[in-house]
């Protein structure tokens, strides 16, 4: 099975570990990623003003590439997933806007591409039982807090990945890997998102609260599907990154835990750029 894959900008730069581990586990699961050719940025945000066709051109071009690749595209980045899923949903209900964009781009997008997050493929195509069957190094005893953030789930009517108030998809993924899942009340709170650029003090405060809550509930690590969430939570601990591992809280991507649990080579774990090194959790 080969799946058309849109990596997005962040996974090609700051979040390269997410991309490396994601490609490795997909290959190991016989769901190999086929990167979209000549892809460009999705736009990074879904526009608040949807009457401006120009703001929707970037994600529509990605969807057009996916259409040429077979009509189905998956991504790992929660931000890319959010933008592409909402754009696909919007254009499916706005044929006049779709016609305007197609006229400008001179590439006919039919509005019917399937946009999936990799977590969806694991849940719906492989199944959690199937994933558990691929685990050769169960992460038993590792207490992990799933952190969803904002963009992976909301708005629920347009995203439709999971229940936005009581999500289970990350929980179920972690259980399939053998982890002990730690629920904590901040698992859907905002980390500060893009304010890390313009108002860094606010994301540090919000991320600090999320980390403190996960610690209070006994987590040894936090797992996310969003590169911006991972950066904000991990970067918040940068000043203490030289301390012993028990003083910090590693923030990993779910694909990195998958790579460990499937006993893939440490080279594809993609953990070397974290501020808080997760590898001591796994004897490295």
Round to whole Å and give the CA distance between 203 and 226: 15
The reply to whether domains 2-118 and 134-282 share a CATH topology is no
Nearest to 119 by CA among 224, 13, 234, 276: 224
What is the pLDDT at residue 246?
A: 58
What is the pLDDT at residue 275?
A: 94
Tens place of pLDDT for every residue, the chain, 284 residues?
A: 899 999 999 999 999 999 999 999 999 999 999 999 989 999 999 998 888 899 999 999 999 999 999 999 999 999 999 999 999 999 999 999 999 999 999 999 999 999 999 999 999 999 999 999 999 999 999 999 999 999 999 999 999 999 999 999 999 999 999 999 999 999 999 999 878 778 888 888 999 999 999 999 999 999 999 999 999 999 989 876 555 555 789 999 999 999 999 999 999 999 999 999 999 999 98
What is the pLDDT at residue 177?
A: 98
Domain 134-282 architecture: 3-Layer(aba) Sandwich (3.40)
Q: Domains of the chain: which residue ranges? A: 2-118, 134-282
What is the pLDDT at residue 179?
A: 98
What is the pLDDT at residue 241?
A: 52
What is the pLDDT at residue 245?
A: 52
Mode of pairing for the β-strands spanning 143-146 and 32-35: unpaired
Confirm if 210 and 191 have CB atoms less than 8 A apart: yes
**Neighbour-count burial for 89-123, b at 16+ CB within 10 Å, e otherwise:** bbbeebeebbeebbeeeeeebebebebbbbbbbbb
**What is the model's pTM?**
0.95
Q: Which two tokens stand for residue 41?
A: 């940025």
Which contacts of 207-216 are long-range, i.e. CB under 8 A and separated by 24 or more positions?
A: 207/232, 207/233, 207/235, 207/236, 208/236, 210/147, 210/186, 211/236, 211/237, 211/249, 213/184, 213/185, 213/186, 214/145, 214/147, 214/182, 214/184, 214/186, 214/249, 215/249, 216/184
What is the pLDDT at residue 199?
A: 85
Question: How does DSSP classify residue 12?
Answer: G
Round to whole Å and give the CA distance between 20 and 80: 17
What is the pLDDT at residue 55?
A: 93
Residue 35 phi/psi, 5° resolution?
Answer: -60, 135
Task: Give CA separation, 233 vs 20, 40, 156, 268, in Å.
Answer: 20, 27, 24, 22
Confirm if 203 and 236 have CB atoms less than 8 A apart: yes
**What torsion do the CA atoms of 220, 225, 228, 232 make, to the nearest 10 degrees?**
-10
The CATH code of domain 2-118 reads: 1.20.1050.140
Categorise residue 184: left if φ over 0, alpha if ψ from -120 to 50, beta otherwise: beta
Round to whole Å and give the CA distance between 85 and 59: 9
Round to whole Å and give the CA distance between 239 and 235: 8
């Amino acid at each position: 099975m080969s799946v058309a894959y849109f990596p997005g900008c962040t996974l090609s730069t700051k979040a390269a570990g997410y991309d490396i581990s994601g490609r490795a586990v997909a290959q190991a699961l016989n769901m190999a990623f086929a990167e979209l050719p000549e892809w460009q940025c999705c736009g990074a945000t879904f526009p608040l003003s949807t009457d401006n066709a120009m703001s929707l051109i970037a994600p529509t071009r990605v969807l057009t590439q996916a259409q040429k690749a077979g009509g189905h595209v998956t991504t790992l980045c929660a931000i890319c997933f959010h933008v592409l899923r909402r754009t696909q949903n919007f254009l499916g209900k706005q044929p006049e806007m779709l016609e305007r964009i197609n006229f400008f781009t001179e590439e006919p997008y039919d509005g019917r591409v399937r946009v999936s997050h990799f977590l969806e493929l694991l849940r719906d195509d492989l199944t959690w039982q199937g994933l558990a069957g691929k685990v050769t190094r169960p992460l038993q005893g590792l207490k992990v807090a799933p952190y969803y953030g904002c963009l992976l789930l909301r708005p629920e009517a347009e995203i439709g990945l999971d229940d936005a108030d009581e999500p289970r998809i990350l929980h179920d993924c972690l259980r399939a890997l053998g982890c002990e899942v730690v629920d904590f009340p901040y698992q859907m709170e905002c980390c500060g998102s893009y304010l890390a650029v313009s108002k860094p003090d606010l994301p540090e405060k919000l991320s600090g609260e999320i980390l403190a809550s996960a610690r209070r509930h006994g987590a040894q690590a936090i797992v996310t599907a969003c590169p911006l969430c991972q950066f904000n939570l991990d970067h918040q601990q940068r000043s203490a990154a030289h301390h012993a591992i028990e003083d910090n809280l590693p923030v990993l991507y779910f694909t990195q835990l998958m790579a460990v649990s499937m006993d893939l080579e440490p080279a594809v774990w993609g953990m070397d750029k974290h501020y808080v090194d997760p590898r001591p959790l796994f004897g490295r």
